[in-house]
């Protein structure tokens, strides 16, 4: 049985020293890339070649390489995480590309995600949104009631778990023509709002998180649905609707 033929590829990669520098695309050639290798393994091969040639490797984010952490944020041929659905970049395999293809690789494009270097962006805006309200208050003095002892309707529990699947990769922002973070914030608000443990400070939470989202410079949602389509965890736009309901209720009560 003959071995699989390797891919010959042209890589058009965004290179940028820092967020103060002007970036540009640079072109690299790779040959005999295994179709079974992951996209990040392909970039590892490229960087090994660059280092061997005395050149600076391409900076890109990654960590778990198991589709869990959301670090591998790359814009590939015009799509967040590349030409597949329901996956992160580390789960993308080179068999999705053709021999001789040119692959364009860019960082997330959003004013709220400034470029740190090359393909790495600063997504700490998401951390600040979470810090603004992503918590619950629990009385730990005395005999604390076990969380499993609090009745939760199964439908609510399932929806909360689906929302909690969001890994904060930022693909929703990169896919949105407005650079909106509504899907991310909607998911984080929903995972608490659907559970009784999260109702104590629900109004304060949603007001603080939306305010921080706006302060960080994310755009407005225009309901095109690109965020949900490109989300690697397929987070539903239902969470955006829930965010709007939670916010309006909290805003009216505050007045």
Q: What confidence score (pLDDT) does residue 5 get?
A: 84
- Percentage of residues in the chain with pLDDT exceeding 90? 87
Name the strand (E) or helix (H) holding 206. Answer: helix 202-215
pLDDT in tens, 85-136: 999 999 999 999 999 999 999 999 999 999 999 999 999 999 999 999 987 7
Mean residue pLDDT across the chain:
93
Is it the case that residue 246 has pLDDT exceeding 60? Answer: yes
CA distances from 159 to 156, 168, 194, 239 (A): 5, 17, 7, 9
What's the distance, CA 109 to chain centroid? 12
Each residue of 159-182: pLDDT tens digit? 999 999 999 999 999 999 999 999
Q: Measured between alpha carbons, how far is 91 from 40 in angstroms, rounded to an integer?
A: 9
Give residue limits of the domains in the chain: 7-116, 122-138+150-253
**CATH superfamily to which 122-138+150-253 belongs:** Alpha-helical ferredoxin (1.10.1060.10)
Of 146, 186, 195, which Cα lies nearest the Cα of 166?
186
Using the predicted structure, report yes or no on whether residue 139 has a pLDDT greater than 90: no
Residues in the chain: 255
CA distance 69 to 82: 17
Q: Which of 114, 112, 83 shows the shortest CA–CA distance to 173?
A: 112
User: What's the CATH superfamily of 7-116?
Assistant: Beta-grasp domain (3.10.20.30)
pTM recorded for the entire structure: 0.92
């Amino acid at each position: 049985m003959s071995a699989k033929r390797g891919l010959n590829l042209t890589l058009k990669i965004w290179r940028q020293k820092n967020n103060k520098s002007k970036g540009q695309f640079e072109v690299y050639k790779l040959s005999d890339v295994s179709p079974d290798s992951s996209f990040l393994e392909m970039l590892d091969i490229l960087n090994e070649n660059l280092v061997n040639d005395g050149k600076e490797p391409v900076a890109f984010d990654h960590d778990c390489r198991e589709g869990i952490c959301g670090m591998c944020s790359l814009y590939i041929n015009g799509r967040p995480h590349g030409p597949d659905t329901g996956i992160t970049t580390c789960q993308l395999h080179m068999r999705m590309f053709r021999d001789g293809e040119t692959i364009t690789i860019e960082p997330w494009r959003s004013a709220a995600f400034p470029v740190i270097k090359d393909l790495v962006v600063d997504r700490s805006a998401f951390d600040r949104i979470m810090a603004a309200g992503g918590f619950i208050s629990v009385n730990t003095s005395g005999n604390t009631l076990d969380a499993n002892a609090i009745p939760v309707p199964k439908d609510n529990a399932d929806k909360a778990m689906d929302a909690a699947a969001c890994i904060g990769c930022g693909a929703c922002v990169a896919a949105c023509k407005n650079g909106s973070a509504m899907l991310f914030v909607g998911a984080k608000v929903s995972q608490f709002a659907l559970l009784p443990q999260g109702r104590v400070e629900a109004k304060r939470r949603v007001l603080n998180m939306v305010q921080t989202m706006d302060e960080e410079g994310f755009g407005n949602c225009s309901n095109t649905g690109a965020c949900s389509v490109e989300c690697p965890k397929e987070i539903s736009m239902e969470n955006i609707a829930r965010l709007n309901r939670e916010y309006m209720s909290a805003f009216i009560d505050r007045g």
